[in-house]
Structure 1
Amino acid sequence: MAAATTRWKDTTVKSLKQALTKLTTHVKDDDQAHKIVWKNWSQDKVFEQNQKIKLNGDEVEYNMIRFNFDQFTMGTVVKKEGFIIVYQDVTAISYIINQNTIALKLLRKIMGYTTGKGQIEKNVIELSNDFFTWLIYRVYESNSNIEASPESKSLSLDTIKGFKGATDDMQTKVSANGETVMNIISTLSFLLESRNLSQVKIDLIYTEHKNISLQLNQGTITTFFDDYIGEFEHEENSENTIAKLYLTTYLELVPYLTQEYFSDKENDLWNATVHKSFLKSVAAKLTEKVNEKLQSIQTEDD
């Protein structure tokens, strides 16, 4: 089970109690005159009592909402459902929702923000093409340890399981997946051709978590719960595993990765020169693999 999520900040609500009240208040059905009509809403609070978790040195209080509704389009009905992790930290009330393109509209609808704008703002961690390339470089070079705080915590890059993007001609979109993706010739070739990486799927090892599998996109984050191995497996219900994994990902893992990326850039451990050297190394490896294959074929023919 996996769900692509986005994160949003509420600039109006000041307490978790107030946010939960709004999130569980009856949602008014759309006007039937609309081409797309949302109606028959249901929202339920998952945890009777708010939960707490300490992340990045701060105590975070949270709860979770399960919602569903019917979407009517040209006489067709589609059942929609999802979750919202609502949490309060030292800065604001935030929402992690397993929606992307309709996330803002959906949150405004559930929260009852029918007039005005700016009550809900995007709260994403921007991940660039260069960041994705850097991640692949660090795994390729077996430079896997990532600085985490406090020092009692350890984070390391385990495996790149896939990535995708557009090639230089901007006409071909390519993706590569698989447990041994870094050893596939086509993947190495793709790295040389692509300048627009938009997604990386990576496995991480983080302190008490033996495996956290993430798909990082430009704008969304996905956690693969079926691949997860760690202390959150022992939660009383799967909803708390989901909530804790996403909170840990947004508040610790991705910030640690981006901090390491910018640290490498600041210390010239990752720059244009290193990038070019990396591509040359990939090209040499690709040539080696091709030559090995040609030699193997020649030997068979002999």
Structure 2
Amino acid sequence: MRRPTIARRGIAATALALTLGLTLAACSGDSEDDASPTPSATSTADPAAEADEAAVAAITVTGDPGAEPVVTLPTTPFEVSTTVVKVLTPGTGETIEDGQQLTIQSVVVSGVDGSVAASTYTTTPDIVILDADLGDLHDTLVGEKVGARFVRTVPPQSADDPTSYVQVGEIVAATTIPSRASGTPVTPPAGLPTVTLDSDGKPTVAAATGAAPTTLVVQPLITGTGAPVTAEQTLTVNYDLSLWDGTAVTSTWDDGKPAQFALSSTIPGWQEGLVGQPVGSQVLLVVPPDKGYGAKASDTIPANSTLVYVVDILAAS
């Protein structure tokens, strides 16, 4: 799917970004000062998996809830060949539900020497949607409680990087995200693409006539009641993208799940057009080439295209 990004979060920018880029899975909780993961009671016929379970059980995690934990590996180099996910200590907050947006603080250590490879505690927490795409992380966290701390391993992903990693994370918050914009409808002026919504809020965009505008058009279609979006936030959105001539490009409604972007990583048309819009809004953006992908073709988008986005701002954090 064509995303409105110029550059996504770097794979080593945050702890979860690092491990998401490898293969995601997880586990939860630690409110004690010293905790070690408990191996799963489920036996396995795979000797490698059994060995990895035992290795994870020997990891020690210390530190108070809310603070960056100290992860001590039983030996270095620490190597695993499978992904293992374990609960350290359950949380005490609200129950985590499928499809919620999670705020996660985590630290990742390298199996080579136990050093910290990445940490959100020195940057900003990661924001993810808890759905089936997260694999074992999803399966483990659904039904846990906010405040849970988890440990998981990530085996080497290629011969070029034979490193195993260990992640310890804490679920800071779990928020139920609406599926569509809601608020006060706004009647747009004539001459813009026409947007109609089905019963689920999915937009259909009919092309406008005439020449495409040469400057960015920002037209609210629904004004939400949330806080205004700021430039440094990560947005959770549903969006539809088409070209000025009406050619459909992509839609998160077709994916069946919203998308998430650090607003600062998106095309200029998004950065300029969405800052200040209230969360909950639906915004029509008509993005000229110099605010989009410019003179270069991008996937199915021809060079020098004027882009038409319909964006539902579902959350910002």
In the superposition, the TM-score normalised over structure 1's length comes to: 0.30
Give the helix-richer structure, 1 or 2: 1
Q: TM-score, normalised by structure 2?
A: 0.29
Name whichever structure is richer in strand by fraction: 1
